[in-house]
Structure 1
Amino acid sequence: MRVLFFFATLSLVSAENGLDGWLRYAPLPYNDQKLPAHIVVLNTTEASPVYVAGAELQNGLKGIYGTHAEVSHEQCENSSSAAIVGTVEQYQIACGSLNGVPELDEDGFWLSTWGNKVQILGQNERGALYGAFEYLSMLAQGNFSEVSYASNPSAAIRWVNQWDNMDGSIERGYGGSSIFFKNGAVVDDLSRVTQYARLLASARINAAVVNNVNANATLLDQENMKGLGRIADALRPYGVQIGISLNFASPETLGGLDTFDPLDSSVIKWWSNITDQIYQRVPDMAGYLVKANSEGQPGPLTYNRTLAQGANLFAKALHPYGGIVMFRAFVYNQLNESNWKADRAKAAMEFKYLDGEFEENVVLQIKYGPIDFQVREPTSPLFANLFNTSTAIELEVTQEYLGQQSHLVYLPPLWKTVLDFDLRVDHKPSLVRDIITGRRFNRKLGGSAAVVNVGSNTTWLGGHLSMSNLYAYGRLAWDPADDSQSILQDWIRLTFGLDRTVLDTITQMSMESWPAYENYTGNLGIQTLTDILYTHYGPNPASQDNNGWGQWTRADHTTIGMDRTVSNGTGFSGQYPTEIAAMYENIDTTPDNLLLWFHHVNYTHRLHSGKTVIQHFYDAHYSGVETAQTFLVQWDSLKGKIDDERHKAVRRQLDYQTGHSIIWRDAINDFYYNLSGIPDALNRVGHHPWRIEAESMLLDGYKQYTVNPFETAAKSIAIVTISNDTVGTATTRLNFPSETYDLVVNYYDLYGGQSRWQIYLNGKQVGEWLGNSENTFSHTPSIYLDGHSATRIKFRGVKINKGDTLKIVGTPDGVEPAPLDYVAFLPQGVID
């Protein structure tokens, strides 16, 4: 039953920093609704999920509606105004027979809310806690519906993968330092870990792998194993189990053996002993995550052993304890680009030939697409080729290639393109979501894992709006058939309140964000055209090619795209079942949004839309930018409806995104215009009548600098101060009509310094800013003038007269030489 709302507008809450995420329990009007006066908790052990569920219910009722419900543990409360929480078994022991409750799956729960009598019963204690959070979610959204229903998970595996390093850094982490590790050891204060467990449990996530897949063997030394026990203790009250990533070579690097051969008896004994020691400290450990023989990581192929033999080494050690091995199918090596049959997308298919050779407690963790978390990929064909091996889909809440939390990108619509895709195995319905849950091929294990690099930042991920992706991941892991917009709207109400305008506005922004990002970065299946050799953030399409990493576009002066057909290309399309293979093999039936993934075509090739490929590129990049500009306008309309602290923080990021989307647009369009020589039919690309190039201004203390890659500076030239202790000035006389403009400056904000700029009109200062994005934004900073460091700042409503003198003063700091690219004066309504 959907939420029934009775609030039109609500008073604002005090400033918030994001630490509570969607579990704010923000006050709402009581409105004479029936609420339980008592809470009966059917477990007295304080570290148990049922006990925690009682505390959450008490705190939630007090926080949301200001009511105090007494908690009792001694007996079953027969009053009609009680909320009873526990397992089905605990209820039957304490309260007697139970009618109407169906048999529940593991972690499932029953929720019944009739009047002010509430029953929250789990198949296990974790399920009971999930039911308590479900009830509180209803109350926090103003929903007093009378319901009686069971909710069961689609799959047993609902994990997150942290990429935390032992030194406290986080690989692809955009939300601060690790909450788990520091200086080679587990941190002393694990209070943030408990808070994180609370968020995970409320989204029904049941395990967290706490260290990087590129694992450090020192995690397994004696002191750190004790620390893992402490982490497990912090997670356990919320029903979240700990998992750990392993370095395959640990027997050699840590254990002092002369081999890590998975069939060597000493190696087998070493891993068995390590596993025994871990379970002595963590008796409920979920299992291991293993990345082997990929991107330089050690693995069984070193000894000519199969990947199945490598996985089974750990599976056998875990088997007595019921643990699971999540073995990543992300296994590839560098390739020879001159070989047109070479294709990284085919790498994972080697697991097809090992199907049936894995132990029952091995689950292959398969990225949703064949490459690496791109803005759009076809479904990995490996899902359709494993009939006797359990599988889990790997997603990435961390926006590694998708804006790194500095760009708003709501990811579930992307994930749903894969989860809802029908692979038509044996010409039968074969939705990916039914394969990973084990239903399609009758597997006992399966589910989801997501890279979620939360950090010490109070927003957890580096931005308030990015938390929608974590919440939605948990919801989709529980039920991958769920609707991404409905999930989003639940998150909005829980995070920002029940104002209808807030709900509609953030819904529109979020649902438009992934298509917009795809448009202004990489589209038609060409992948995310970011710099894959450096930070994975800003534009650098050339970095995709001329290297062995295999994320090739194969773009030249006349053609673009990978030929992955069987008839003339790499043969990748033939790895799909017959119906899907035929669709992708034929250029006429391949969807336009994946054309360049499967086919190598001329820039003048006509799409189904009638546009040429190159014109679509130009148009899409302009369209994406136009959409991105609306995000800030929409968010500004919510001022006064959202607390100032969060409103300002999100506004700062959206303002940045409006500028960086233009940097992306210009870089990609300029690159392909330069490569193809084909002009934009609308004469936009390379035509910017409102800009003044910095190098064309009168320079004092500044000098010209050629930017690489060339497309990340207008006309490839910027200016930098002549030394790091010289103040530079750039001056020009304005020739624009006299009126009011938005004044835009495109500059570069490098890591390693915080330059300062002042801007003057006729000697009067009209703007000033500091190059401190490394402290204010979440993305990985850059030490170069490039598409990562390129930044735009806008000063709105600046009145100028024709002939006025503009002067910019740049004061360098550290290694940052106060770089500038151009200035623009934009009339009302002009995006640039």
Structure 2
Amino acid sequence: MRCLLLLASLGLVAAENGLNAWLRYAPLPRGTYSHVSLPSDIIALNSSQTSPVYTAGQELAKGFEGIFGKHVSVSHKASKASSCLVVGTIDEYEKSYGKLKNAPELKDDGYWLSNKGSTIQILGQNERGALYGAFQYLSMLAQGDFSKVAYASSPATAARWVNQWDNMDGSIERGYGGASIFFSNGLVVDDLTRAGDYARILASIGVNTVVVNNVNANVTTLSTENIKGLGRIADVFRPYGVQLGLSLNFAAPNTSGTAIPPIGTYDPLDPKVVAWWTNMTELIYDAVPDMAGYLVKADSEGQPGPLVYNRTLSDGANLFARPLQPHGGIVMFRAFVYNLLNESDWKADRAKAAVDFFKDLDGKFEDNVVIQIKFGPIDFQVREPTSPLFANLFKTPTAIELEVAQEYLGQQCHLVYLPPLWKTVLDFDLRVQNKPSLVRNIISGERFNHKLGGTVAVVNVGTNTTWLGSHLAMSNLYAFGRLAWNADQDPQDILQDWIRLTFNGNPTVVDSITQMSMESWPAYENYSGNLGIQTLTDILFNHYGPRAASQELNGYAQWTRADHDSVGMDRTLKNGTGYSRQYPDEIYNMYENIDTTPDNLLLWFHHVNWTHQLHSGKTVIQHFYDAHYDGSNMAQTFVPTWETLKGKIDNERYNDVLFRQTYQAGHSLVWRDSIVNYFHNMTSIPDKHGRVGNHPWRIEAEDMELDGYKVYQVNPFEAASNANAIVTITNSTTGTATTKLKFESGTYDFAVNYFDQIGGKATWKAYIDDRLVAEWIGNMEDTLGHAPSPYLDSSSAIRKTWHGVKIKKGDTLKIVGKADGIEPAGVDYVSFLPKGIVD
């Protein structure tokens, strides 16, 4: 340990793979705590190894060992000795030590933390609360915070759940961090070590439930063998106070493969169906006696539900709520219900669906039903207005659904720190009945006087040691837990705690990662979809790369209604879909009026000409051009900012993040060019700064002399510069493209845009007068963490840059590409960039 402390004091850092996340308990330099009196003993007031209090004692000992290099013994018998740390419930503490002076009022899971006396007290309202308090104390110590405190803390929302989208075959829907840690080959996995590690991570941020399977549930989760497996998962969760939740397939009673035979119907009002779910719930609770409850997705995106039988959604929710009541379980019933719509109907609007389906059912749900509402009315876009359903359910508790999985927001391959986005919703005042009605106070139950309420996140952790496939993406999971506990916290403060715990407290490290992260959402919004137009990604395929046209001419109704003259959804009551009227009066009046609608939501609420002038003074189309250039330019700065951290964090994580930031810098340019070219082609309105379509430093691959290569017209056209790329003539040959350089002699950054597709590992080499200047391989499906696309499109488009390449005017550039599998070594263009030019 002395060696580790010496390394820390010298600023040297050992390699780390991310598995410990923010619970590293890294050694502090001895000089930072020489004045601190550490406890001589830890007294954990429960000796059962399944108890969260027992776990708290073990965690505290582990923390003292790691942070200070001090072994502190753990006992389970009360002691009057001074200089000890006592952790347990308030009830157990008072049995041994007498009445706690000024005992705080705590909600379920709350805790009291005091280190002001001779004895450190970490006391929970329940055992889980004691563990939360222990983690909070360790978080302070790990950051070198030795301040004297005495305070009570209780969670804002009772249900702090994460929804895993894990499938029974081990895949994860929208999974960018590896395979499932819960399931494989249709069964619960044998080795649940990672599941226990996950519970530890979640407990440290106050998350109390994990729904382990996909909302698009497979009925075989309810087989006899898998119910036993769920019991094993619950067993590894239990010492951390984490409960198991289960997603259900509404049609399970009519489907084979479950522990109870099918009965030929799933009508929620049929007594046979009621009995079936009552019996199934008893079977599950026999295996998991502390199960938190069910998550139900019904009548949405092809999933079965009560509407099939002309029953109401409340009939469906209550079907599950009633058998849960004797066990104290709750139903999280998702409000994500919508029908496919016809774009030719200008009154059609998917955004209205949640209120249309649920408003008239308010008060018809059982008391243990919570309506789980996506933060915006569409689907986790880069910016949406707050869902109006929060303002339309007065008698029914609600939970907000966030998404840690960056489904539309770069899929953990782009840095996007999401809490600033979430805070725009949590802090939004819906002004229900002209009274303060912040969303965070609605979901907590405070505004409408509910005991229940929740904060939920879709999370896609997998077997990758980084959990999410990216070290920096873990800031979103950490911040989710912090905001679920207290939504009044500042996202930047939360972020900086995470940085110090995950990396270290070096001011340069903290400042640099803070800067990158806080700029990342505005950057991504700028280059992916601004002014409220939604994220202009490929919604019909992988939700990753840009494809603006995919928003139109389909029933999914994420329309932009863009044409040659105008753009935007008219959601006003006066002329449009009437969506604006779903808000309380003050908010309706703001959004109904184009003059009072914020620019960042203009195109969500109004259909305007491309030449419409914004509050900023710019036209809509010029804002599009400027924003996409500004956003991609910001993404370029993340690379040099990260490079300032070389030697200040371990090389393993430094290199992994550098790779991803370099990738994002290149892909942001793919986004920029795709969107501005698409709308420039649509509108024929020039960019007043002359950037769009003007690339003096580029050489289009199709303009080079080709041997073994052929010109390929890329679809969509905007996914390639000048709409064309080159590919090898066959998928098993080598192609060569050559050209004479016309640039002035000098030193340049050499950039290549190429296509890295799933299904092969093509190789490329670039020569200048037979001097090798660059080589690379198409292996992004291995190195990026997930496979973006098997096609030549904007998802498989990659840009790489090599710095300091010397050329002479008249040199011959030669690109040699060797196809592999289905990957035909596609090349879009090359650029020779003077210093400071991005292209």
TM-score normalized by the length of structure 2? 0.98
Q: 106-115 or 292-301, which moves further after superposition?
A: 106-115
Give SS of 1:769's match. strand
Return the match for 2:698 from 691, 694, 707: 691
Question: Structure 1 CA distance, aligned partners of 2:520 and 2:645?
Answer: 18
Question: Structure 1 CA distance, aligned partners of 2:641 and 2:64?
Answer: 33
Q: Which residue of 2 aligns with 1:589?
A: 596
Q: Cα distance, 1:379 vs. partner?
A: 0.2
Q: Does 1:84 align with 2:86?
A: yes
Q: Which residue of 2 aligns with 1:631?
A: 638
Q: Cα distance, 1:115 vs. partner?
A: 6.1
Q: Which residue of 2 aligns with 1:58?
A: 61
Q: Does 1:777 align with 2:784?
A: yes
Q: Cα distance, 1:13 vs. partner?
A: 2.5
Q: Which residue of 1 aligns with 2:301?
A: 295
Give SS of 2:115's match. strand
Q: Which residue of 2 aligns with 1:21?
A: 21
Q: Which residue of 1 aligns with 2:242?
A: 240
Q: Which residue of 2 aligns with 1:528?
A: 535
Q: Does 1:108 align with 2:110?
A: yes
Q: Cα distance, 1:37 vs. partner?
A: 1.4
Give SS of 1:798's match. strand
Question: Structure 2 CA distance, aligned partners of 1:47 and 1:570?
Answer: 54
Q: Cα distance, 1:77 vs. partner?
A: 2.4
Q: Does 1:489 align with 2:482?
A: no
The answer on whether the counterparts of 1:448 and 1:477 sit within 8 Å (CA) in structure 2 is yes
Give SS of 1:114's match. coil
Q: Cα distance, 1:422 vs. partner?
A: 0.3
Q: Cα distance, 1:778 vs. partner?
A: 2.8
Question: Structure 1 CA distance, aligned partners of 2:380 and 2:513?
Answer: 25
Q: Which residue of 2 aligns with 1:39?
A: 42
Q: Does 1:705 align with 2:706?
A: no
Question: Structure 1 CA distance, aligned partners of 2:306 and 2:59?
Answer: 46
Q: Which residue of 2 aligns with 1:434?
A: 441
Question: Structure 2 CA distance, aligned partners of 1:19 and 1:744?
Answer: 34
Flag structure 2 segments of 5+ consecutive residues without an equivalent: 1-6
The answer on whether the counterparts of 1:13 and 1:26 sit within 8 Å (CA) in structure 2 is no
Q: Which residue of 1 aligns with 2:291?
A: 285
Return the match for 2:70 from 67, 75, 83: 67
Return the match for 1:743 from 750, 763, 768: 750
Question: Structure 2 CA distance, aligned partners of 1:34 and 1:645?
Answer: 35
Question: Structure 1 CA distance, aligned partners of 2:732 and 2:790?
Answer: 18
What are the equivalent positions in structure 2 for 1:87-98 lying under 5 Å apart?
Answer: 87-98=89-100
Flag structure 1 segments of 5+ consecutive residues without an equivalent: 1-6
Q: Does 1:652 align with 2:654?
A: no
Look up the equivalent residue of 1:810 and give its one-letter code.
G
Look up the equivalent residue of 2:204 and give its one-letter code.
S
Q: Cα distance, 1:79 vs. partner?
A: 2.3
Q: Which residue of 2 aligns with 1:560?
A: 567
The answer on whether the counterparts of 2:177 and 2:464 sit within 8 Å (CA) in structure 1 is yes
Look up the equivalent residue of 1:11 and give its one-letter code.
G
Give SS of 1:351's match. helix
Return the match for 1:180 from 179, 182, 192: 182
Q: Does 1:383 align with 2:417?
A: no
Look up the equivalent residue of 2:291 and give its one-letter code.
M
Give SS of 2:482's match. helix
Look up the equivalent residue of 1:461 and give its one-letter code.
L
Q: Which residue of 1 aligns with 2:226?
A: 224
Q: Cα distance, 1:257 vs. partner?
A: 1.5
The answer on whether the counterparts of 1:34 and 1:115 sit within 8 Å (CA) in structure 2 is no
What are the equivalent positions in structure 2 for 1:72-471 lying under 5 Å apart?
Answer: 72-74=75-77, 76-114=78-116, 117-254=119-256, 255-349=261-355, 350-471=357-478
Question: Structure 1 CA distance, aligned partners of 2:168 and 2:125?
Answer: 37
The answer on whether the counterparts of 1:401 and 1:536 sit within 8 Å (CA) in structure 2 is yes
Q: 248-257 or 331-340, which moves further after superposition?
A: 248-257
Give SS of 2:372's match. strand
- The count of residues paired between Structure 1 and Structure 2 equals 825
The answer on whether the counterparts of 1:86 and 1:122 sit within 8 Å (CA) in structure 2 is yes
Look up the equivalent residue of 2:810 and give its one-letter code.
G
What are the equivalent positions in structure 2 for 1:501-512 lying under 5 Å apart?
Answer: 501-512=508-519
Q: Cα distance, 1:780 vs. partner?
A: 4.1
The answer on whether the counterparts of 1:115 and 1:146 sit within 8 Å (CA) in structure 2 is no
Question: Structure 1 CA distance, aligned partners of 2:332 and 2:454?
Answer: 11
Question: Structure 2 CA distance, aligned partners of 1:751 and 1:667?
Answer: 21
Deviations 1:461-505 (A, max 9, x none): 010000000000000000011111000000000001110111111
Deviations 1:250-278 (A, max 9, x none): 00013322110000011100000000000
Question: Structure 1 CA distance, aligned partners of 2:821 and 2:811?
Answer: 33
Question: Structure 2 CA distance, aligned partners of 1:73 and 1:601?
Answer: 69
Deviations 1:189-220 (A, max 9, x none): 00000000000000100000000000000000
The answer on whether the counterparts of 1:405 and 1:779 sit within 8 Å (CA) in structure 2 is no
Question: Structure 2 CA distance, aligned partners of 1:699 and 1:19?
Answer: 47
Question: Structure 2 CA distance, aligned partners of 1:760 and 1:710?
Answer: 28
Question: Structure 2 CA distance, aligned partners of 1:101 and 1:144?
Answer: 23
Deviations 1:562-593 (A, max 9, x none): 00000000000000000000000000000000
Look up the equivalent residue of 1:25 and give its one-letter code.
Y
Look up the equivalent residue of 1:85 and give its one-letter code.
V
Question: Structure 1 CA distance, aligned partners of 2:615 and 2:105?
Answer: 51
Look up the equivalent residue of 2:12 and give its one-letter code.
L
Question: Structure 2 CA distance, aligned partners of 1:116 and 1:379?
Answer: 48
Q: 32-41 or 339-348, which moves further after superposition?
A: 32-41
Give SS of 2:466's match. coil
Q: Cα distance, 1:803 vs. partner?
A: 0.5
Q: Cα distance, 1:10 vs. partner?
A: 5.6
Question: Structure 2 CA distance, aligned partners of 1:242 and 1:608?
Answer: 49
Question: Structure 1 CA distance, aligned partners of 2:117 and 2:774?
Answer: 60
The answer on whether the counterparts of 1:741 and 1:827 sit within 8 Å (CA) in structure 2 is yes
Question: Structure 2 CA distance, aligned partners of 1:515 and 1:173?
Answer: 24
Question: Structure 1 CA distance, aligned partners of 2:674 and 2:180?
Answer: 34
Return the match for 1:598 from 586, 600, 605: 605
Question: Structure 2 CA distance, aligned partners of 1:573 and 1:128?
Answer: 45
Look up the equivalent residue of 2:485 and give its one-letter code.
W
The answer on whether the counterparts of 2:8 and 2:27 sit within 8 Å (CA) in structure 1 is no
Look up the equivalent residue of 2:46 and give its one-letter code.
N
The answer on whether the counterparts of 2:567 and 2:608 sit within 8 Å (CA) in structure 1 is yes
Give SS of 1:806's match. strand
Return the match for 1:787 from 774, 791, 794: 794
Look up the equivalent residue of 2:85 and give its one-letter code.
A
RMSD, aligned α-carbons: 1.0
Q: Which residue of 2 aligns with 1:753?
A: 760
Look up the equivalent residue of 2:15 and give its one-letter code.
A
Structure 1 runs of 4+ aligned residues shifted over 4 Å read 7-10
Q: Does 1:475 align with 2:482?
A: yes
Deviations 1:326-362 (A, max 9, x none): 0000001110110000000001012001000000000
Residue 8 to residue 283, structure 1, CA distance change in 2 (3 Å): closer
What are the equivalent positions in structure 2 for 1:661-676 lying under 5 Å apart?
Answer: 661-676=668-683
Question: Structure 1 CA distance, aligned partners of 2:104 and 2:562?
Answer: 58
Q: Which residue of 2 aligns with 1:609?
A: 616
Q: 246-255 or 30-39, which moves further after superposition?
A: 30-39
The answer on whether the counterparts of 1:531 and 1:541 sit within 8 Å (CA) in structure 2 is yes
Deviations 1:642-674 (A, max 9, x none): 100000000000000000000000000000000
